[in-house]
Amino acid sequence: MELKESKTKENLMRAFAGESQARNRYTFAAELAMQNNLYVIKKVFDLTASQEKEHAEVFYSYLKEFEGMEIAVDGSYPVNTEKTVEKQLQHALENETKEADEVYRSFGDIALDEGFNQIAGKFYMIADVEKIHAMRFQKFAELLKEGKLFASDVKTGWMCLNCGYVIESTNAPQNCPVCDSAQGYFVRLSMAPMTEPEMDVPRPQDLGK
Ligand SMILES: [Fe+2]
Ligand SMILES: [Fe+2]
């Protein structure tokens, strides 16, 4: 089958539209998180938004042969305009789950049926990424809901996402002792970017001993 007469052509455009919208929703949510002094959640939304852009680019790249044309599709897309970070995390988690478990799986199956194996592979692999997105949003939604975003039952490491300072404590400090960033900049060391959770970091308590 030729792509031009396939269902997959439309599904690629649907996916491009969905990814583009997700990227915008996460950018709005990142701004909302920042207004609420939750820089760490802003970073989660920013990172995810940039990954959605890459997904959009992958899907779009398969539509090259339709250069200069328009592809009409129907589709339904979420309206999530509530101005609370908790709700935005929850919606993001639900949308990612649906995208992963239903939408991209079925797009992958259709592409396979139509003989577009490479495109099917992309739908399945990106579905897996959306699952990871869902789990990441879920983790942060839970921490926020339980009041544990900056507090831990046991002593743990906290990293300032602005300057990289690490402190071991049950709570992230109100302000970073190095760069004075607010508590919202801290993330558990186990969830810090590019960091080994077991990494042996110098602790402030050791200083002067
Ligand atoms: Fe995506
Ligand atoms: Fe996603």
pLDDT-based confidence at residue 206 (cuts at 50, 70, 90): low
Q: What pLDDT score was predicted for residue 208?
A: 54
| Mean predicted confidence (pLDDT) in 159-167 | 97
pLDDT digits (tens, 9 = 90+) for 114-136: 999 999 999 999 999 999 999 99
At 132, list the tokens: 């990871």
Q: Assess whether pLDDT exceeds 50 at residue 32.
A: yes
Amino acid at 93: L
pLDDT-based confidence at residue 152 (cuts at 50, 70, 90): very high
Kindly report the average pLDDT of the chain as a whole number: 95
* Centre of ligand 1 from the C-alpha of residue 142, in Å: 22
d(CA 172, CA 187): 8
Question: What are the sequence ranges of the domains in the chain?
Answer: 3-145, 151-206
d(CA 195, CA 187): 11
Helix H, strand E, coil C: the string for the chain is: CCHHHCHHHHHHHHHHHHHHHHHHHHHHHHHHHHHCCCHHHHHHHHHHHHHHHHHHHHHHHCCHHHCCCCCCCCCCCCCCCCCCHHHHHHHHHHHHHHHHHHHHHHHHHHHHHCCCHHHHHHHHHHHHHHHHHHHHHHHHHHHHHCCCCCEEEEEEEEEECCCCCEEEEEECCCECCCCCCEHHHEEEHHHCCCCCCCCCCCCHHHCCC
**Cβ contact 85:38 at 8 Å:** yes
* Centre of ligand 1 from the C-alpha of residue 161, in Å: 24
**Cβ contact 88:29 at 8 Å:** yes
* Centre of ligand 2 from the C-alpha of residue 116, in Å: 23
Q: What pLDDT score was predicted for residue 202?
A: 66
The residue with tokens 């649907």 is 14
d(CA 7, CA 138): 32
* Centre of ligand 2 from the C-alpha of residue 208, in Å: 46
Could you please state the CATH topology (level 3) that the domain comprising 151-206 is classified under.
Rubrerythrin, domain 2 (2.20.28)
Q: Report the CATH architecture of 3-145.
A: Up-down Bundle (1.20)
The residue with greater pLDDT, 173 or 207, is: 173
* Centre of ligand 1 from the C-alpha of residue 130, in Å: 6
- Ion ligand 1: residue ranges with CB closer than 5 A: 19, 52, 55
